[in-house]
Structure 1
Amino acid sequence: MADIKAPVFPESVADGTIVEWHVTEGQQVNRDDLLAEIETDKVVLEVVAPDNGVVTKIVKQVDDTVLSDELIAQFEAGASASADTATEAPAEPAQAADGGEPVQAAAKSDSNDADHKDQSPAVRKAAKESGVDPKEVEGSGRGGRVTKTDMANPTLKSDSSIKSDSGRPVAESTGERTEKRVPMTRLRKTVANRLLSASQDTAMLTTFNEVNMKPLMDMRAKYKDQFEKRHGVRLGFMSLFVKAATEALKRFPAVNASLDGDDIVYHGYYDIGVAVSSDRGLVVPVLRDTDRMSMADVESRIRELGGLAQKGKLGLNDMTGGTFTISNGGVFGSLMSTPILNPPQTAILGMHAINDRPMAVDGKVEILPMMYLALSYDHRMIDGKEAVQFLVTIKELVEDPAMLLLDL
């Protein structure tokens, strides 16, 4: 008999919550099969089977809090699932009431019970709380399996309507007033608390500027095919903004610093976080040592981290640290915003939508693709002069990308 324990959490993670069991007691599994998911303040960790065998006992249930390396289940390697049901004598067929052909005896559980057993405890709990029938929801899990995330934002099958346990539709086209109460995930709670703390515990101020995107758009249109052919990744705008921010951070070290109590910590490296929206909430994976990365490296790494974020596969190392953050609300159509700091960082850059606007150029009106930039910063650490000059530096580098190549 072996113990299955929670993963060893980093020092920054105190505990986690079991959000889903993918197996039941007595179920036979193969090595590396997914057993359970544990949600921490930052990521969802997977617990897999250490070997072929049987899960003999589940110690920690869904929604239980677990500590680092704590026992959550017991496992017997090399064992097989109980064969009791397989060795039982087959049930005698029941005689039809009219003396005709025998009728096969009913199974111990009907199809509804079988469907119910196939659902994880987390899904069953979500169904009970929301009144949504999992059988009517499109599943995104393996083999079309319905997950807890599917239940939080249900997508109905084309021939179904959401029904409560009583069979009555929860939402109808008749305009019925409905409500659905869903508990916040641990990750969203953490994001909410951090954002609230940032607004309350920092002297946050935001400065704005606008950038002419035409030079960058022209460069991208000219070289994007060659870039993709050579590097195997598409050329986007984010890579140049990351490189421009890195250069600006070199010139203004205070923006790359952080506060630790009464101390100012100046970082001699450039780890830039890129905010990503996922089904589980806002996450900020970090690009390490961006001063040593090429634009192709940046694009490739952003694509890789974005894919992991959408699948909920980001690791703790992918999101820890970071000296500066970039958030691109423009991909959702945001024209202007005031991004909130990501403590203990002291600044965050907000990118926005690119819109054609009339601009005065050499005494003439021209229609140019313009983007508003916003820099939110902690005024306790960064003076207004530094913040404005930092943002102007990014503007100049983006409007004239050759300055980055010439180190000007």
Structure 2
Amino acid sequence: MATNIEVPTLGESVTEATVGEWLKQPGDSVAVDEPIVSLETDKVAVEVPSPVAGVLGDHQVSVGDTVEVGSVIATVEEGSGGGAAKPKEAAKDAGGEPAEKSADLEKAAPEQAKQVSDSDNSQTLSPAVRRAVLEHGLDPSTIEGTGKDGRLTKEDVLRAAQAKKDDGGDEKAAPAPSAAPAGSGERKVERVKMTRMRQTIAKRLKGAQDNAALLTTFNDCDMSAVMEAREKYKDLFAKKHDIKLGFMGFFAKAACLALKDVPAANAYIEGDEIVYHDYVDISVAVSAPNGLVVPVIRDADQKGFARIEKDIADFGARAREGTLTMDDMKGGTFTISNGGVFGSLMSTPIINPPQSAVLGLHRIEDRPVVVNGEIVIRPMMYLALSYDHRLIDGREAVTALKIIKEAIEDPTRMLIDL
């Protein structure tokens, strides 16, 4: 008896998704709750599990197709399956070669390497592909994709891993793709369809610029006190809480102080009303392979450093694995974005609608500053607060950023609520 695999409920107000990656091919055995397909929504990738054990039937949709909630995308023939019933056909359906031909990949590697684009393919990787790339230690930009629009499939990664193994563990038998020889006249371009998530990011950020009156105020911050506190207590903190003491915990708590004193920075405009919050849910901008995601630390004002650091570490790990859920990113009253981890010195971050403010952190570097009339070297960081001037006045924005700066420079303020 065949059981239909339907697109599950994807979250509030989400009615459709894009097929990102088939994790199982027709004829493959599947277990109960084993993921068979990855769907991309506006915010996250969702893996759809099989409700029964059996053998996967034909795919009803292809990678790149848009599917609605409740629609049938595949079937599973119930019963015990003895592995992939049609390995050769399954491999060919995925756009690849039969498994027994993996040894030929080594010979084909030089030709394939020429066809690989220099661009970064990470934005199109599904969760299953990302996990396979990390597991085998491969560079996705050196693997030729056989999926729709040149996307990498899990089978592509596995074939590349096998070729690497057959080659004695070398990274690649072929050199990295290089520019076309001078005078050859060959100039290549590549067109890759934007993922649903990237399209949504683009629309939301452009919408923020179009609808909000954006302005950014800056300040600089002496990180000496926080760095000394981390160095002094990092071992005890890690031993007690089983998590490293990072900078984000300090900034999250400092932001909570500022938002308490400047409630407009923790509010947003809805129609002709201002919605204020008596709690602080901090969205933390995290860079994931498919794009920027902003999971939310709930009730950050009620949590201690250890809980905040654990939440951030968990979000970062799940963002890399592609396992964040819609609920993880729902809501949020204020955002912190740390461009410093990528080396940014200064930026003007864009607010995360409908929020009205975002704090931008940047890299720490030693700079000469004047302290008590003397020039000294201090580890300094530029802070940026972008805000919606329709709701937040300049005085309020500057005050909020000043409170954050003072709390970081004197962390005792966080303990005694100053």
TM bucket (normalised to shorter chain) is 0.7 to 0.9
Q: Distance in 2 between matches of 1:68 and 1:37?
A: 14
- 2:98 aligned with 1:114, yes or no? yes
- After the TM superposition, which of the residue ranges 267-276 and 178-187 deviates more from structure 2? 178-187
Residue 146 to residue 47, structure 1, CA distance change in 2 (3 Å): farther
Q: What is the match of residue 25 of structure 2?
A: 24
Q: Distance in 2 between matches of 1:73 and 1:79?
A: 18
1:141 is displaced (CA, Å) by 4.5
Q: Spell out the pairing of 1:174-213 with structure 2 (5 A cutoff).
A: 174=181, 177-213=187-223
Pairs aligned (count): 366
Residue 251 to residue 174, structure 1, CA distance change in 2 (3 Å): same
Q: Distance in 1 between matches of 2:382 and 2:236?
A: 29
- 2:173 aligned with 1:160, yes or no? yes
Q: What is the match of residue 242 of structure 2?
A: 232
Q: Distance in 1 between matches of 2:100 and 2:203?
A: 36
- 2:314 aligned with 1:313, yes or no? no
- 2:25 aligned with 1:12, yes or no? no
Cα deviation code 1:353-373 (max 9, x no counterpart): 111111111111111111100
1:240 is displaced (CA, Å) by 0.6
Residue 270 to residue 58, structure 1, CA distance change in 2 (3 Å): same
Q: Distance in 2 between matches of 1:38 and 1:178?
A: 30
1:217 is displaced (CA, Å) by 0.9
Q: What is the match of residue 337 of structure 1?
A: 347
Q: Distance in 2 between matches of 1:242 and 1:117?
A: 53
Q: What is the match of residue 148 of structure 2?
A: none
Contact map agreement 2:52 2:78 (CA 8 A) in 1? yes
1:61 is displaced (CA, Å) by 1.8
Equivalent position amino acid for 2:18 in 1:
T
Residue 181 to residue 230, structure 1, CA distance change in 2 (3 Å): same
Aligned residues: CA RMSD? 3.2
Contact map agreement 1:170 1:178 (CA 8 A) in 2? no
Contact map agreement 1:326 1:351 (CA 8 A) in 2? yes
Q: What is the match of residue 229 of structure 2?
A: 219
- Name the structure with the higher helix share: 2
Residue 20 to residue 147, structure 1, CA distance change in 2 (3 Å): farther
Find the partner of 2:303 among 290, 293, 296: 293
Secondary structure, aligned partner of 2:11: coil
- 2:362 aligned with 1:357, yes or no? no
1:45 is displaced (CA, Å) by 0.2
Secondary structure, aligned partner of 1:113: coil
Secondary structure, aligned partner of 2:336: strand
Cα deviation code 1:122-160 (max 9, x no counterpart): xxxxxx9x9449xxx997544759999964699986333
1:298 is displaced (CA, Å) by 0.6
Contact map agreement 1:330 1:354 (CA 8 A) in 2? yes
Q: Distance in 2 between matches of 1:50 and 1:338?
A: 47
Residue 363 to residue 47, structure 1, CA distance change in 2 (3 Å): same
1:57 is displaced (CA, Å) by 2.9
Q: What is the match of residue 263 of structure 1?
A: 273
Residue 358 to residue 84, structure 1, CA distance change in 2 (3 Å): closer
TM-score by length of 2: 0.80
1:116 is displaced (CA, Å) by 10
Residue 380 to residue 85, structure 1, CA distance change in 2 (3 Å): closer
Contact map agreement 1:276 1:282 (CA 8 A) in 2? yes
Residue 381 to residue 83, structure 1, CA distance change in 2 (3 Å): closer
Q: Distance in 2 between matches of 1:84 and 1:234?
A: 47
Q: Distance in 1 between matches of 2:320 and 2:65?
A: 25
- 2:61 aligned with 1:67, yes or no? no
1:401 is displaced (CA, Å) by 0.4
Equivalent position amino acid for 1:220 in 2:
R
Q: Distance in 1 between matches of 2:45 and 2:84?
A: 34
Contact map agreement 2:286 2:294 (CA 8 A) in 1? yes
Equivalent position amino acid for 1:56 in 2:
G
Contact map agreement 1:171 1:178 (CA 8 A) in 2? no
Secondary structure, aligned partner of 1:23: coil
